[in-house]
Amino acid sequence: MTPPIVNVLIFKYIKKHSKSIFTCALIYFIWRYFTFTAEEMRASVALSICLFANDFALENKRLKSIVLYVLASMFHTSAIFLVFIPILTFLRFNKVGYIVIISSFSIGVLLQTLFGDIIEMLSFASRFEELGSRYEGSAFSEQYLNINGIISKLTVYVFYTIYIIQKLRKKSPESNVLRFEPLLLIGVILSIVSIPLAIVYRYCHFFDIYFILLYSEYMTQLKTGNYKYNVTHSLKGYIFFFPFLFFVLYSYNSKVPDSNSLKTYSRYYPYHSVLTKRIDTDRESLFSCYNSFYFNERY
């Protein structure tokens, strides 16, 4: 029952901030975000709560946002890191923002070098020893993103986002989605940091909805002609999305590293829930590999 409830909450949030609910739904499923809400129930519940907490943060209602972040962390401990968002709402895609983006990869490399096993980052979590030892002995203690994985992440999260933000600023400065600039920038930074430090992918999911809203807004602008483009320019705009579709579909349909038995259909039911106390580590690795844009060097 959890995935339908979570998806209802997410689409209620999307409807609140977008007039193009069907375009958002299309990108939502292309993005394969539905599989995330069906795979990791606790994290998806935390995410749905954090969406509304983020709104309070952007409205400078910090106390309300922090209360919701703490509530979300009761479902998934990773959400506790989002309590810093209220003090980061000044971030924008400006010179300072671009410097931070460019520096993000170096920051990720530094963190990977200093905290290779990420034990400190997991010290607050339940199943501490299990999580720590599993991470330390897994591919996530290093970085195995091949060139395809890196290009996918940079294309979907970085290049397209910067391009669309600049287009909206120029052609549609009143667009509601521009209010999410701080959250989009945080999402871009985390996506870059996750290249050298793979475990950060867990935090990227908390910001994916804002990328979906951004993409939807741009596609809607092309469709409705708010950019005053002619047919040729509109066609070019849609062709512009082809690489996005390719990289998203590629990333989710790549073979799971070190596995010959795990199939895509395994992603539609959770590897752990309150009904099944035992964690299916094989399908957990399937979830981890797909949802981090993670590709083994051999593929």
pLDDT in tens, 211-262: 999 998 988 877 665 555 556 656 666 677 677 667 666 665 565 555 555 5
128 in a structural domain: yes
276 in a structural domain: yes
pLDDT of residue 249: 65
Q: Give Cβ neighbours of residue 266 (< 8 Å, ≥ 6 apart).
A: 283, 286
pLDDT of residue 23: 86
Q: Give residue 133's domain range.
A: 2-291
Question: Could you give the residue ranges of the DSSP H alpha helices within 119-230?
Answer: 119-122, 128-136, 147-153, 160-171, 181-193, 201-204, 208-224
CA distance 82 to 71: 11
CA distance 38 to 4: 9
Alpha-carbon radius of gyration of the chain: 19
C-beta of residue 68 within 8 angstroms of C-beta of residue 49: yes
Q: Locate tokens 């309590």: which residue?
A: 83
255 in a structural domain: yes
pLDDT of residue 269: 57
Provide the number of structural domains found in the chain: 1
CA distance 104 to 98: 10
Grouping H, G, I as helix, E, B as strand and the rest as coil, residue 96 is helix
246 in a structural domain: yes
298 in a structural domain: no
299 in a structural domain: no
297 in a structural domain: no
In tens, the pLDDT along 97-121 reads 999 999 998 888 887 777 655 534 4
Higher per-residue pLDDT: 290 or 39: 39
pLDDT category, 91, cuts 50, 70, 90? very high
12 in a structural domain: yes
Query: Picking from 27-36, 38-47, 93-102, which range would have the lowest pLDDT averaged per residue?
Result: 27-36
Mean pLDDT of the chain: 76
